[in-house]
Amino acid sequence: MTQYPRRALVASPTAPAQVARAELADAWDWCPLEEADLVVALGGDGFMLQTLHLLLERRRALVPVFGMNLGTVGFLMNEWRRHDLDGRIERARAFKVTPLTATATGNDGRVHTFPAINEVSLLRETRQTAKLEVRINDRIVLDELSCDGILVATPAGSTAYNLSAHGPILPLGSQMLALTPISAFRPRRWRGAILPDRTRVSLRVLDAAKRPVSAVADQREIRDVAQVDIALDRARELTLLFDPEHALDDRITMEQFVA
């Protein structure tokens, strides 16, 4: 008997993903997401993040996801192939992805809590630079960072926005987080830090009324924040399934050698 007898099929609204969904519609007796013990996701990396966030919202984090790429990059996806889907799922390797939790306090005093699988970033809202205080485990390490922003990235997200901001690539299993400035002005030579993944990062906005800052967790944005506290959420670990020849850990490692 298959390891995952109850499967849900979800697809991006793009035309290629919808065509693929139609092709797979009769391949299995698909069930609703709420009843599934496996999700097959069709789309790109952005849609994979949406699917993982949906599982977190519905308290279904333990359900593994097998994605097939019908987007652009497809870093978090397997190759799209209609044939032998059962065999591929049975042979797939599982990789654990631990999300961050960001607790953002707004200038109005409201508190927002949300997860992030790739990264949590703080970004200036106006033409003026943001000024941030950076705390690590309740210790102030930078009393004033002038910048366009700053981000905290997981290993799974270290090849996304973090890499574009010249942050380090973190291998899966490294148990590290990347703290990466975005266009730092002062201190000009600070390039960020690699932190143990048990670290708590607190980012306080200085002069928030004059220099407003927004917080973005993957695809969700909270504007006009006063402080954001970030830590890994080990209670909501997610599982991605990959073909053996398309191992996520190896892809992340090899990104260090891409010219």
Active site residues: 45
Give the separation between CA 146 and CA 187, rounded to whole angstroms.
Answer: 7
- 162 in a known ligand binding site: yes
CB 103 within 8 A of CB 229: yes
> What sign for the dihedral angle of Cα 191, 136, 120, 9?
positive
- 245 in a known ligand binding site: no
Tell me: cis bond preceding 32? Omega within 30 of 0 counts: no
Q: CB pairs under 8 A, 24+ apart, for 55-61?
A: 55/238, 56/99, 56/115, 56/236, 56/238, 58/33, 58/34, 60/33, 60/34, 60/36, 61/236, 61/237, 61/238
CB 40 within 8 A of CB 68: yes
- 161 in a known ligand binding site: yes
> What number of other Cβ atoms are within 10 A of residue 37's Cβ?
16
- 46 in a known ligand binding site: yes
- 232 in a known ligand binding site: no
Given the structure tokens 């997610």, which residue do they identify?
238
- 74 in a known ligand binding site: no
Q: Which residues pair with 139 in a beta bridge?
A: 136
- 163 in a known ligand binding site: yes
- 69 in a known ligand binding site: no
- As annotated, the binding site for NAD(+) includes 45-46, 118-119, 148, 156, 159-164
- As annotated, the binding site includes 45-46, 118-119, 148, 156, 159-164
